[in-house]
Amino acid sequence: MEVMKNNSLDPVTFEVLKNSFINLVDQMSEQIIRTCYSFVIYNRDFSSALCDANGNIVMQGTQDIAVHVGTLHLTAKAIIEYFQEDIHPGDVFLINDPYRGGTHFSDVRVIRPVFYRKTLIAFIQSNGHWADVGGGMPGSFDVSSKAHFGEGVRIPPTRIWSKGNYLKDVANLIVSNMRVPEERFGDLRSQVEATKVAEKELLRLIDKYTIDKVLLAFAEVQNYVERLTREKLKQLPNGTWETIDYIDMDPDFGDGMIPIKVKLSIKDDQIVYDLDGTHSTIGCFLNATFGSSLSGLYAGTKTFFPDIPLNSGFYRVIEASLPKGSVVHADWPVAVSGFCSGPFEKIMNACFELWSHIMPEKALACSFNLEYLLIGGWDQREGYNQFFMWYDWMVGGHGGRISKDGANAMSPVFGAGLSVQPCEGQERLTPVITSYHKIMTDSGGPGEYRGGCGVEKGGTLTAIQDAVMSVCCDRSRSVTWGIFGGLPSNPHGNWLNPQTDKEEFLGAFFSNVSLKEGDRFTRPSAGGGGLGDPLKRNPQSVLEDVKDGYVSIARAEKDYGVVIKAIDPDVDHYEILQEETSSMRNYIRENRKVWLTEDPQNVIIKYRDGIIGKLDLIRQYGVIIDFSTNTVLEKTTQQFREMLHKRSVAYWE
């Protein structure tokens, strides 16, 4: 652990330089927004950082993606370790290697060393998610990949500018192995220029405040964050808390969810995480490397300390044990491109649950799972005639909070700074038309405080040729859960040609599904889990949810026991039937624990006969099925019911 030093800059200079470093990184963001080529990066799937000469993060930007920031110091250190003394003014480096501190191959980092009078003083880093980096599938997400060779180009620490000279042959070698190379060149130039902007601003600060004060500020802003975090930890109780979350499955084995175990200990002013007992790596791309899992712990913890800036001073307070060979610490060459939908968000949500017990005044239930949908092929529209890449992520619901409902239609916790991609821009760039994009009724997990609602988005393929679809997602089985008595939301899963004789359930993650002109698809995102017993929710709040379209009348009765009569829905005229509500709540209270013990095979018969629906399976009976075959997943159901008993039933009266 690095030794803290007392602040030796005067308070005004310290504060000015601290905020100047934030502004420096945000200037990089503005440069990228205005010059990038990828629509993905334009919608803020990028991050930037100022690092000191040792690679430690001094400051991040104000809208950076959580997972990026938690790994940028690792890739800076990888450059230092690899090149050592062979780093010179005018050099620029490239890296996307997950096994050397990165996230996945799509996150390409540009790193510029900064010198002052021939002395290395800092590293400027720009990380952007390139829409394609090669591999077997357009968009570089291949569910079936078990090794990284099918996931895209792996860029180890690589020099791309040498002493100011552009190494065109190296850039060509890398980018020529990617789809739409002109976009990749454009993104590369954009990120390089962003680091140049930051370098210029850093040197300006040095000219104004002197090199000694700026370097002192580098150290002191990290020490300040460490000191502030440790002081807050001293106000919390020592102890150990444990939980478990799941990835849906290992496709090599089918039934049975993949456990990720998280143990959190507070020891005075230190946080210790232990993920021992987590499942070994699985046979698809939903594995994570050490760096991205560590970042999940950072991000999940930071959520409960929102007033503390994030830099390497915060990281000093956290120790982590991540078992090698597990889904949270995969080694080369295990496939890891889907880490974001796999271990990362499971780790974050596990942290939410653990910290909710420690700091109940900030409690937060599980949030929906990140989902990427990728369609690539040939654009046959008049005037285009080129390869296209449609790359879209969904918004969804965040978990219920201790005194408020969860937020509706939000960016995933993976990337709170992500923007919703405008349909108009997507339609101009690709032959995919968005047919609807709407809040999905009944998607928020029931609770005293309801989970936020997810959305449903549909699209139609127009003038395409040789197009395929892939999806990176999860939680079709490990459905977004509630806490303190709250209930789950809804399962993820995509449909092709819905409500036609060609309807097909594709599930929550798949690759290489062939498409043709006129095909339609729909994709619901989950809501957040509920917080608190749904039977304690104020009936008037349930009525307001019905008026807003967040909850249907049918599910108001089934999930909350609130019986509502529609008098004139066109003018939001409804009535709560008080006696019926009291009777229904008593009925649910007397039977809900019994429902969770009913034989799953009896439950599936009710579902097939239309007596109960999909949400009844999950929320009332805790039964998980394969929706493509309507068969019970016995082991998964057992695991899911165990989760419900721990997070929900244990809090019911």
pLDDT digits (tens, 9 = 90+) for 70-106: 899 999 999 999 999 999 999 999 999 999 999 999 9
Is 413 inside any structural domain? yes
Cα(86)–Cα(168) distance, integer angstroms:
20
Cα-Cα-Cα-Cα dihedral of 498, 503, 508, 513, to 10°? Answer: -110
Q: How many other CB atoms are there within 10 angstroms of residue 2's CB atom?
A: 13
Domain that holds residue 435: 363-532
**C-alpha angle 584/587/590, rounded to 5°?**
150
Check whether residue 608 and residue 518 sit in a common domain: no
Is 407 inside any structural domain? yes
Check whether residue 90 and residue 168 sit in a common domain: yes
Check whether residue 647 and residue 518 sit in a common domain: no
State in Å, rounded, how far the first CA of the chain is from the last one: 47
As given in the structure block, the two tokens for residue 272 are 């210790």
Residues of the chain with pLDDT under 70: 1-7, 416-417
Region for residue 584 given its phi and psi (left: phi exceeds 0; alpha: psi -120 to 50; beta: otherwise): alpha
**C-alpha angle 55/293/131, rounded to 5°?**
80
Which residue in the block uniquely carries the two structure tokens 């552009």? 166
Per residue, the 3-state secondary structure of 488-505, as one string, reads CCCCCCEEECCCCCCCEE
Q: Which amino acid is at 381?
A: R
Check whether residue 496 and residue 605 sit in a common domain: no
Choosing from 512, 532, 552, the residue where a domain stops is 532
Task: Please enumerate in sequence order all residues whose Cβ is within 8 A of that of 442, keeping only pairs 6 or more positions apart, or say none.
Answer: 490, 550, 551, 552, 555, 615
Is 553 inside any structural domain? no
Is 24 inside any structural domain? yes
193 and 44 Cβ atoms separated by less than 8 Å: no
Cα(326)–Cα(322) distance, integer angstroms:
8
Choosing from 195, 226, 257, the residue where a domain stops is 226
Check whether residue 517 and residue 611 sit in a common domain: no
Choosing from 181, 207, 226, the residue where a domain stops is 226
Check whether residue 56 and residue 168 sit in a common domain: yes
Query: Helices in 390-521 by DSSP H: which ranges?
Result: 423-429
Check whether residue 217 and residue 86 sit in a common domain: yes
Q: Indicate the SS3 state at residue 181.
A: helix
Instruction: Please give the pLDDT value at position 458.
Output: 94
Check whether residue 514 and residue 610 sit in a common domain: no
Is 331 inside any structural domain? no
As given in the structure block, the two tokens for residue 468 are 């395929």
Is 163 inside any structural domain? yes
Q: How many domains does the chain have?
A: 3
Is 119 inside any structural domain? yes
Is 542 inside any structural domain? no
Instruction: Please give the pLDDT value at position 7.
Output: 54
Task: Please enumerate in sequence order all residues whose Cβ is within 8 A of that of 466, keeping only pairs 6 or more positions apart, or say none.
Answer: 377, 378
Cα(576)–Cα(563) distance, integer angstroms:
6
Which pTM does this prediction carry? 0.94
Check whether residue 511 and residue 629 sit in a common domain: no
* CA 433 to centroid of chain Cα atoms: 25
Check whether residue 514 and residue 627 sit in a common domain: no
Check whether residue 390 and residue 522 sit in a common domain: yes
- Report the DSSP pairing between strands 270-274 and 318-321: parallel
Check whether residue 28 and residue 152 sit in a common domain: yes
Cα(56)–Cα(53) distance, integer angstroms:
7
